[in-house]
């Protein structure tokens, strides 16, 4: 992977740099955004319109379910990390919505490539060698539990006893704020919108075929599906054959937009285990409102935004709301099944 340092400009607003200067202070002039750059929706009353998002790495092994805090995330990214296991990255526009999130796990470079253009404050416990190299390259200040420990994270002793230490560490808004203060992390700066949203007063009806059920497998271990709930107007996420639940909210994860982007996934040569995901460009699918469209996408350098294109080659107009972005190995593309039938997840005891 080639990495270069470039000037980081957010939507023709005031300029910042994605390398060291984005972290240097909070006294730069920040352009006040007109809408939430992660959802396309108007800001809630009293929201800080100049705040950087927060991105938290989440354990996604079967034993880690149900996780906490995913219900309030504006965007959830999922991708294979190693051995067919996936990990999640939950991104929040408002740190104050993070009441509890976890279990928190280690950083991976593919997720860093997604958070760099969002200029998100990165929260994790540990890193892979390639992820650490990327963070160092961009002089990206983060909140890492390996160094901050209980200052920014807290352990659930019961989970540590029953599931293991790696499934027992959580964080919240106050702990993250403590980590921000300890590491001198800037909380305000520019960043790209996650997508090219339609006006929040409008809804774009997709022109493609019906897609009431979307299912695919990241691997023989990790399968997911989305069932469109017409009454709610959202896709309900299932994982490992059962509803994907938020432990504290006791609700099934629901998304207005679902993206499945196809990327070549190999294995990193230096360790022979961790996934090596090519995020240069590819094809994919956009799901909304019970329909879908085929898309193409392009990213380029790690700090550059993920751009989506429609069939005509124009920038994809995305409807407002919460989004899920799944990065699926092209070798697993045949596992993707899109049907008009409504899928109902079966409640079964999880295999740990």
Domain ranges of the chain: 13-183, 196-339
DSSP helix/strand/coil, 31: coil
pLDDT at 42: 94
Question: pLDDT confidence of 30, banded at 50, 70, 90?
Answer: low
CATH topology match: 13-183 vs 196-339: yes
pLDDT at 271: 74
Question: pLDDT confidence of 212, banded at 50, 70, 90?
Answer: very high
pLDDT at 45: 86
Q: Mean pLDDT throughout 119-129? A: 97
pLDDT at 15: 31
pLDDT at 12: 29
The CA distances from residue 305 to 41, 116, 221, in Å, are 19, 8, 30
pLDDT tens digits, residue range 312-332?
A: 999 999 999 999 999 999 999
Picking from 66, 55, 56, the residue whose alpha carbon sits closest to that of residue 167 is 66
Average pLDDT score, the chain: 89
Picking from 221, 248, 57, the residue whose alpha carbon sits closest to that of residue 153 is 57
Relative to beta strand 242-243, strand 245-246 is unpaired
Q: Mean pLDDT throughout 93-98? A: 95
pLDDT at 31: 65
φ/ψ of 166, rounded to 5, equals: -70, -10
CATH architecture, range 13-183: 3-Layer(bba) Sandwich (3.50)
pLDDT at 343: 57
Residue 95's beta-bridge partner residues? none
Q: Mean pLDDT throughout 2-24? A: 33
Lowest mean pLDDT among 8-22, 83-97, 269-283: 8-22
Judge whether residue 295 has pLDDT over 90.
yes
* CATH classification for the domain delimited by 196-339, as one of 3.20.20.70, 3.50.90.10, 3.90.550.10, 3.40.30.10: 3.50.90.10
């Amino acid at each position: 992977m080639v990495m270069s340092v470039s000037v980081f400009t957010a939507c023709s607003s005031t300029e910042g740099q994605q390398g060291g200067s984005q972290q240097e202070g909070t006294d730069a002039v920040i352009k006040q955004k007109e809408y939430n750059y992660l959802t396309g929706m108007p800001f809630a009353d009293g929201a800080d319109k100049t705040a950087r998002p927060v991105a938290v790495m989440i354990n996604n092994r079967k034993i880690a379910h149900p996780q906490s805090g995913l219900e309030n995330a504006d965007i959830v990214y999922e991708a294979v990390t190693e051995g067919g296991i996936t990990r999640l990255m939950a991104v929040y526009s408002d740190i104050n919505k993070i009441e509890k999130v976890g279990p928190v796990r280690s950083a991976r470079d593919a997720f860093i490539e997604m958070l760099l253009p969002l200029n998100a404050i990165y929260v994790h416990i540990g890193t892979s060698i390639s992820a650490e190299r990327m963070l160092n390259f961009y002089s990206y200040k983060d909140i890492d539990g390996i160094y901050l420990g209980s200052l920014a994270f807290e352990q659930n002793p019961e989970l540590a006893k029953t599931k293991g230490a790696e499934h027992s560490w959580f964080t919240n808004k106050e702990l993250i704020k403590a980590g921000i203060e300890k590491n001198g992390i800037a909380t305000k700066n520019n960043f790209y919108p996650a997508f090219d949203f339609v006006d929040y007063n409008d809804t774009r009806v997709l022109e493609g075929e019906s897609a009431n059920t979307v299912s695919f497998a990241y691997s023989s271990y990790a399968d997911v599906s989305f069932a469109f709930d017409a009454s709610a107007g959202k896709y309900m996420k299932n994982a490992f054959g059962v509803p994907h639940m938020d432990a504290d909210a006791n609700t099934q994860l629901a998304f207005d937009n679902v993206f499945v982007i196809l990327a070549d996934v190999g294995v990193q040569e230096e360790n022979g285990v961790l996934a090596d995901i090519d995020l240069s460009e590819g094809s994919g699918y956009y799901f909304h409102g019970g329909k879908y469209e085929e898309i193409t996408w392009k990213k380029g350098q790690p700090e550059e935004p993920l751009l989506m294109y429609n069939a005509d080659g124009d920038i994809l107009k995305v409807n407002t709301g919460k989004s899920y972005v799944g990065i699926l190995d092209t070798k697993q593309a045949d596992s993707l099944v899109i049907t008009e039938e409504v899928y109902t997840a079966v409640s079964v005891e999880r295999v740990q």
